[in-house]
A and B are shown apart, each in its own frame.
Chain A
């Protein structure tokens, strides 16, 4: 069974700061997903990674398969980025996701 660990659990940042959230997992995977959950429960899929790096706007996600580690970076953070960010992993050919506990991000104006 894959164990997914995220750090930090909580993060408070000033608007404009560069933010990094980390995720590590214990067993080889086929893909790693970064999800965003706003208050009220809706979840949005931000990235799916199997190698390397992806960028979308101010968000950057990287993965190191050998080290079983991924990072989510937010550049020039904004209060609207305040949400819970969840890392999840999936095995080969499976839709089944195993989730980290999430990182609660608060960006203060």
Chain B
């Protein structure tokens, strides 16, 4: 069974631009969560989606948004990029509140 895939793996943007990251969960997994990892703050929860509904959102500004499609694939969008948005963005999928399976991440650099 294929694992969680994230595209693109690496991305370079400039301040003020917007970016869309994609996550394809493991087949059969209906839950997708997104996390941001930075050297200073560590791992922080962004969103959780289940069956196309956002169930939880972390403490991030409105520039961060996401959605989930009927095939469980998910996207997150960051508008008006800031230097501090440079991070590794990870998504994870799961069937239940048991094990989460993480993707390899998208490393975003904002210049």
A residues sitting closer than 8 Å to B (CB atoms) are: 30-31, 33, 35, 41-45, 48, 86, 88, 90, 93-102
| A65, B92: Cα distance in complex, Å | 26
Is there contact, CB below 8 Å, between A45 and B101? yes
Contact among B33, B42, B45, B104 with A42 in the assembled complex (CB-CB below 8 Å): B104
Is there contact, CB below 8 Å, between B104 and A101? no
Nearest CB of A to B81, in Å: 20
Is there contact, CB below 8 Å, between B97 and A31? yes
Is there contact, CB below 8 Å, between A93 and B97? yes
Is there contact, CB below 8 Å, between B48 and A94? yes
Q: How many residues of B contact A (CB 8 A)?
A: 26
A-B contact count (CB 8 A): 59
Q: State whether the Cβ of B100 lies closer than 8 Å to any Cβ in chain A.
A: yes
Contact among B50, B94, B102 with A43 in the assembled complex (CB-CB below 8 Å): B102
Q: State whether the Cβ of B35 lies closer than 8 Å to any Cβ in chain A.
A: yes
Is there contact, CB below 8 Å, between A95 and B102? no
Is there contact, CB below 8 Å, between B31 and A41? no
Is there contact, CB below 8 Å, between A45 and B56? no
Contact among A30, A88, A96, A98 with B48 in the assembled complex (CB-CB below 8 Å): A96
Q: B94 to chain A: which residues have CB within 8 Å? A: 95
| A70, B33: Cα distance in complex, Å | 24
Beyond A95-B55, A97-B33: 10 further Cβ-contacts under 8 Å? A41-B37, A42-B104, A42-B105, A45-B100, A45-B102, A93-B97, A95-B31, A97-B35, A99-B42, A102-B42
Q: B92 to chain A: which residues have CB within 8 Å? A: 43
Is there contact, CB below 8 Å, between A41 and B97? no
Q: A94 to chain B: which residues have CB within 8 Å? A: 48, 55-56, 97
